[in-house]
Structure 1
Amino acid sequence: MDGVRCIDSLAAGNAPHDSFRTLGPTLLISMAYLDLGKWVIALESGSRFGYDLVLLMLFFNLSAILCQYLSSRIGMVTGKNLAEICHQEYSPTICVVLGVQAGLSLLTSEVSMIAGTVVGFKLVFEYDDPITVIWFTSLVVNLLPYTLSLLDKRMAGMFNTYVAGFTLVCFVLGLLVSHPKNPVNMNVMFPKLSGESAYSLMALLGTNIIVHSFYTHSSVVQVQRRFPVLALGSLFRDHLFSIVFSFSGIFLVNYVLLSSAADESKNAMAIHFQEAIQLMNQIFTNPVAPIVLLVILVFSGHLISMTCIIGSDIISENLFGVKLPLFAHHILPKVFAMITTIYHAKVAGSEGLYQLLIMCPVIQAMFLPSSVIPVFRVSSSRLLMGRYKISLYVQILALLAFLLTLFTNIIFAAEILFGDSTWTNDLKGNTGSPIVLPYAAVALISCASITFALFLAVNPLKSACTEAEELLSSVRSQREKLDKARQSEAASLKHSKSAFEHTTQPSPSINCEETKSAVVDWTQPMSKVCTATIVEHSTPENLIVNSLSKKDA
């Protein structure tokens, strides 16, 4: 597993320069967006609808930048990957559904990679044996990770980073050099949506945002939790710069492809395989373009396979609770992708592979509304993220990104159920085109995904419920303490009042004595005595004696 988990060594700082800590994992994760299926979808959208979907494609790209940044932020702050946190915060049933969605996203990436390589060989070498190309592609993308496992993690990580950087440069510059006559057109029109464009819109959504990359990205950077707290702020900025750098290059190429197809759509429309081949030959006019395309297909296929192995290990262990050996993660997704691709190549030929390339991102897009909810909830949780929870403005951006994915899916589902567009008739088998996925299955998956997204949107994290319960219990305890204090205070006041009344009330004996002493019978001859005494003191003899005594004195 050392050769596969070499991204961890880059994230841990085992590289010649500190920039590899953030740029290396981002480049490797972004390789999931560089297969021929993504190019075909951009060409098909531009040839059919011109510039009508450019602005929405930009919004999808910005949403992908936000999701990847928040995923990396979760891994760095918590020291856990997103699947581990979902295992802790959601019920087993929800985890299984999330695991099924992430697993199908991973498998469709493998299918798109192998089918895109087959179409690429057909485009470059005009090779008409898809079975041989499928076996060759599967052998190459499986042998490279095993070969790298002979190296240590540091050497394997450096090799994969250089390969990813070289592939991205070839991806961006190769297209610009191969088609110099088409400058970057800034004629971005306001989106014009219709039932016909709903299918292409869903394909563009799945091209720009990939579900299982959230789990992979949060896993490869979780080793950076051991860094000092003061370094996390700078790591956030470095990761954001790396993500914006990588995804801006991806958007630039998709925009050039879409605008080139829009300009060439007067001559050909990429509705079927032969028309797409003709349109690509008109765009890639440089003779070096086929070689560059082949290099991109081989290297991106190897890196997509490696990141899918990491994602498969994370998803199976944490969301399904099943620990599989390493060779199972190598073999099982490849076997499924090979069987699916061989079946469509045998049944419908190159046209079936072309329709398969477009259907795979549509399937991935149907799982997006519910898959982005854990990313946004965890990153905005104060209990899980602490001081590093996202701000209110970022939460608003996250809500807008979720609504964008949800409304895109609702438009798609409404067109499937009630519309009568060309692609719905293709799914129903009314036009004779190869049926990649039955109409009933597409309608059922779409409606079920929207329902699950709405259910998950109103279902909070376990930690949020625990925090709310603790807050309520704290409020109840404080209220009970306050009530007890009030009751004790009222009891003490009542006791003090009764004690005061008891001390101020006179005893009955004292009152009787005082009453008896205070009673005077004014009918007695006391008044006479008093009068006689006064008269006696006022007689003439007494007055003379008193005057003589005053004189003697």
Structure 2
Amino acid sequence: MKNTNTPNKSLGNVHSSIGTENKLGWRRLLAFIGPAYLVSVGYMDPGNWATDIAGGSAFGYKLIWVLFTSNLIALLLQSLSARLGIVRGLDLAQASKNAYPRFINFCLYILAQIAIIACDLAEVIGMAIGLQLLFHLPLIWGVSLTLTDTVLMLFLMNKGMRKLEVFIMSMIFIMGMSFLIEMFIVRPDVLEVAKGFIPNNLFKGDAISQNMLYIAIGIIGATVMPHNLYLHSSLVQTRQIVRTHEGIKSAIKFNLFDTVIALNLAFIVNAAILILAAGAFFSNGYFKVAEIQDAYKLLAHIFGPLAPTLFAIALIASGQSSTITGTLAGQIILEGHINLRIEPWLRRLLTRFLAIVPAVLTILYFGDSGLGSLIILSQVVLSLQLGFAVIPLIHFTSNRKRMGKFAISLKVKIVAWLSAALIVALNAKLVFDQLLDWIKQYPAAHFWIYVLVIPLIAAIAVLLLYVFLRPLLFKHHDLPARVPHGLASTIHEIKPITYKHIGVSIDFSKNDRDCIRHAIMQGGKEARYTLIHVVETAGARYYGTEVMDHETQSDVNNLEKYAEAIVKLGYKANAHMGFGRAATAIAQIVAEEKIDFLVMGSHGHKVLKDLIFGTTVDSVRHKVHVPVLVVKPQPSR
């Protein structure tokens, strides 16, 4: 059952929506299984495919150990992210909001949002390529079709977190089965695969080793992605746990199992892509396969139609699942960093739209071939954000005052900081190399590179240094100074409130009787009652003033009958008609009549009708400055 009463919580509509107590053994473990699987799809997105294919085709099995190392780093960071969410009940964005000033949080939000758009961009392109390879659909159509993910996301979230997790797991299963079958088709050299786990020297001066280092950096940079850290710290909070020492300790343990299993499955899929590229391309003399489309064509050329078909199916599953988790991460950073809450469908549509626009413009101006460069650019943009997620995460989970006994140990802290230093250094090198390439390739753009790009990178570097130093210089300043709805005040004495003028919105439905009854219960015979009805005909909406058409005349007569009936019962009542948009007109009447309490009926619309007709109650609540009582329609008997 969904929990809809936690608006201040991370992913409030599904927060603590899955029970874990009163379950034993494997049933209890299964209750915790799920969050890490949603996170793991980010480690199998099309951006990873590109680096894995490039590494496997150029160097065979020699970079498997790089994949393995990056997976170990990912395991560490994701376990820290889960620990933060479980112990403090905060996602990474919320914790950052409490620890850093408002302006810094705004900067962190902008960077995180750009990173999520960059991630989403790679997934949109990957899914569009998969649709083109499988169904010969033009890329521009495939990119546009990914907009429908918003509808799918809304549907799955309304069905509950478990349904969403099952969908993502099914996508992972499709990917896994596709590559398992392809392994039997390609038949890689098992001994060479085993040798690939032995580290090779990446730091020789020759060109081959430099190229290997560059691809290795790309693999690590594309594997550990910032939005996964935000996402995991929030998703673990969908499980109900007992807030005791033992309850929290148990939740950390079971979520660690979930993380280890899910990320190792992600490693297997990534390794399978690299092994596939090594066995299919490197072994057959194709050493420069970096494009996903080229890999598809070569698979068809070498192994027939089945292998590339499975390849395209897995690519579509990867793009579909990764885009869903990316939009979830977008919700988390929006609400966490700057406390902005908008409708879920609009938020997800906005995230997807911002990812689709660059892809569409690239296709229109540079053709289909430009998408490969766009994926590379998205990975460069992504690398800039990584430190802004990893560094605060280590600070927060190291803080003994906030984490108590669940703060990470000194050994874990050392390994975490070394991992962070490695990630930041490698990604900084990736950005530096890309910048040099731009300077060499685009002489005409030197002015803009030196005036805009380099100062921007310098500003980001200063911001990263501040993010690192502030928690060290101002320890224990991460207090909830800006909570969504303020802090609870002390209650000394409760005195009854007497309302003198009560407004009742009337819509001539079965709910009117209950609304009037609830209003009279609040004010009795001492209060005055104003019955409000708003005419929303086309003429009223256009002119915003009284229009005496047939509907208006009928409504005036009906409202007067209500008022007369209430007066006959011994109460003071009058009717007041409004014209135009309901929420605006009701708020205007409340102000003009100096109403001090408002009673409204809930129309009982579901999701689709809310999208079409809007939600008057919510709009009125934000426009008036008086208490509002919402009366829900009683079920018919």
TM-score, with structure 1 as normaliser: 0.73
Q: 2:322 matched to 1:304?
A: yes
Displacement of 1:55 in angstroms is: 2.8
Q: SS of 2:306's equivalent?
A: coil
Q: 2:245 matched to 1:229?
A: yes
Taking a change above 3 Å as real, the CA distance of residues 195 and 218 of structure 1, as seen in their structure-2 partners, is: same
The counterpart of 1:174, out of the listed 175, 178, 184, is 178
Partner amino acid, structure 2, of 1:256: A
Name the Cα RMSD after superposition: 3.3
Partner amino acid, structure 1, of 2:153: P
The counterpart of 1:187, out of the listed 185, 195, 202, is 195
Taking a change above 3 Å as real, the CA distance of residues 439 and 245 of structure 1, as seen in their structure-2 partners, is: farther
Taking a change above 3 Å as real, the CA distance of residues 317 and 5 of structure 1, as seen in their structure-2 partners, is: closer
The counterpart of 2:374, out of the listed 331, 334, 356, is 356
Task: Map 1:262-273; keep pairs closer than 5 Å.
Answer: 262-263=278-279, 264-265=281-282, 266-272=285-291
Displacement of 1:297 in angstroms is: 4.7
The counterpart of 1:453, out of the listed 460, 464, 487, is 464
Q: 2:91 matched to 1:87?
A: no
The counterpart of 1:24, out of the listed 26, 31, 34, is 34
User: How far, CA to CA, are the matches of 1:446 and 1:395 in structure 2?
Assistant: 28
User: How far, CA to CA, are the matches of 2:18 and 2:214 in structure 1?
Assistant: 38
User: How far, CA to CA, are the matches of 1:187 and 1:11 in structure 2?
Assistant: 43
Contact residue 74 and residue 379 of structure 1 kept, 8 A: yes
User: How far, CA to CA, are the matches of 2:291 and 2:307 in structure 1?
Assistant: 25
The counterpart of 1:278, out of the listed 265, 275, 297, is 297
Range with bigger deviation, 265-274 or 340-349: 265-274
The counterpart of 1:78, out of the listed 77, 88, 99, is 88
Aligned to 1:535: none
User: How far, CA to CA, are the matches of 2:151 and 2:477 in structure 1?
Assistant: 47
Aligned to 1:245: 261
Displacement of 1:383 in angstroms is: 0.9
Aligned to 2:76: 66
User: How far, CA to CA, are the matches of 1:455 and 1:262 in structure 2?
Assistant: 43
Displacement of 1:322 in angstroms is: 2.7
Aligned to 1:333: 351
Displacement of 1:228 in angstroms is: 3.3
Partner amino acid, structure 2, of 1:412: L
Task: Map 1:500-519; keep pairs closer than 5 Å.
Answer: none
Taking a change above 3 Å as real, the CA distance of residues 101 and 10 of structure 1, as seen in their structure-2 partners, is: same
User: How far, CA to CA, are the matches of 1:2 and 1:440 in structure 2?
Assistant: 50
Range with bigger deviation, 393-402 or 259-268: 259-268
Aligned to 2:334: 316
Displacement of 1:378 in angstroms is: 0.4
Contact residue 204 and residue 361 of structure 1 kept, 8 A: no
Q: SS of 2:202's equivalent?
A: coil
Contact residue 10 and residue 21 of structure 1 kept, 8 A: no
Aligned to 1:13: 20
Q: SS of 1:170's equivalent?
A: helix
Q: 2:142 matched to 1:126?
A: no
The counterpart of 1:200, out of the listed 209, 215, 220, is 215
User: How far, CA to CA, are the matches of 2:3 and 2:477 in structure 1?
Assistant: 38
Q: SS of 1:456's equivalent?
A: helix
Instruction: Indicate the structure with greater strand content.
Output: 2
User: How far, CA to CA, are the matches of 1:334 and 1:441 in structure 2?
Assistant: 27
Equivalent pairs counted in the alignment come to: 450
Q: SS of 2:195's equivalent?
A: coil
Contact residue 203 and residue 358 of structure 1 kept, 8 A: no
Q: 2:156 matched to 1:138?
A: no
Q: 2:257 matched to 1:257?
A: no
Partner amino acid, structure 2, of 1:57: L
Partner amino acid, structure 1, of 2:181: V
User: How far, CA to CA, are the matches of 1:73 and 1:286 in structure 2?
Assistant: 46
Percent identical: 24
What are the ranges of 5 or more consecutive residues in structure 1 without an aligned counterpart? 431-436, 468-553
TM-score, with structure 2 as normaliser: 0.64
Contact residue 81 and residue 232 of structure 2 kept, 8 A: yes
Displacement of 1:171 in angstroms is: 1.8
User: How far, CA to CA, are the matches of 2:390 and 2:223 in structure 1?
Assistant: 13
Taking a change above 3 Å as real, the CA distance of residues 461 and 95 of structure 1, as seen in their structure-2 partners, is: farther
Displacement of 1:442 in angstroms is: 6.5
Displacement of 1:388 in angstroms is: 0.4
Q: SS of 1:459's equivalent?
A: helix
User: How far, CA to CA, are the matches of 2:439 and 2:428 in structure 1?
Assistant: 20
User: How far, CA to CA, are the matches of 1:248 and 1:330 in structure 2?
Assistant: 29
User: How far, CA to CA, are the matches of 2:318 and 2:17 in structure 1?
Assistant: 19
Contact residue 84 and residue 318 of structure 1 kept, 8 A: yes
Displacement of 1:281 in angstroms is: 3.9
Aligned to 2:433: 415
Contact residue 84 and residue 397 of structure 2 kept, 8 A: yes
User: How far, CA to CA, are the matches of 2:409 and 2:231 in structure 1?
Assistant: 24
Aligned to 2:441: 428
User: How far, CA to CA, are the matches of 1:123 and 1:15 in structure 2?
Assistant: 48
Contact residue 115 and residue 341 of structure 1 kept, 8 A: yes
Alpha-carbon displacement from aligned partner over 1:187-221 (angstroms, at most 9, x marks no partner): 22414145545653443233211112212211122
Taking a change above 3 Å as real, the CA distance of residues 309 and 15 of structure 1, as seen in their structure-2 partners, is: farther
Displacement of 1:42 in angstroms is: 0.7
Displacement of 1:225 in angstroms is: 5.4
Contact residue 273 and residue 350 of structure 1 kept, 8 A: no
Contact residue 400 and residue 407 of structure 2 kept, 8 A: yes
User: How far, CA to CA, are the matches of 1:170 and 1:450 in structure 2?
Assistant: 40
Displacement of 1:164 in angstroms is: 2.1
Q: 2:115 matched to 1:105?
A: yes
User: How far, CA to CA, are the matches of 1:269 and 1:248 in structure 2?
Assistant: 28
Displacement of 1:408 in angstroms is: 0.4
Contact residue 110 and residue 305 of structure 1 kept, 8 A: yes
Displacement of 1:176 in angstroms is: 2.2
Q: SS of 2:28's equivalent?
A: coil
What are the ranges of 5 or more consecutive residues in structure 2 without an aligned counterpart? 5-10, 204-208, 479-637
Contact residue 127 and residue 318 of structure 2 kept, 8 A: no
Instruction: Indicate the structure with greater helix content.
Output: 1
Contact residue 44 and residue 269 of structure 1 kept, 8 A: yes
Taking a change above 3 Å as real, the CA distance of residues 274 and 106 of structure 1, as seen in their structure-2 partners, is: closer
Contact residue 215 and residue 314 of structure 1 kept, 8 A: yes
Contact residue 56 and residue 191 of structure 1 kept, 8 A: no
Taking a change above 3 Å as real, the CA distance of residues 15 and 67 of structure 1, as seen in their structure-2 partners, is: farther
Taking a change above 3 Å as real, the CA distance of residues 463 and 75 of structure 1, as seen in their structure-2 partners, is: farther
Range with bigger deviation, 75-84 or 179-188: 179-188
Contact residue 344 and residue 353 of structure 1 kept, 8 A: yes
Displacement of 1:359 in angstroms is: 2.8
Q: SS of 1:350's equivalent?
A: coil
Q: SS of 1:179's equivalent?
A: helix
The counterpart of 2:399, out of the listed 381, 399, 402, is 381
Partner amino acid, structure 1, of 2:233: S
Q: SS of 1:458's equivalent?
A: helix
Range with bigger deviation, 78-87 or 161-170: 161-170
Partner amino acid, structure 1, of 2:393: V
Displacement of 1:121 in angstroms is: 1.9
Aligned to 1:165: 169
Q: SS of 2:341's equivalent?
A: coil
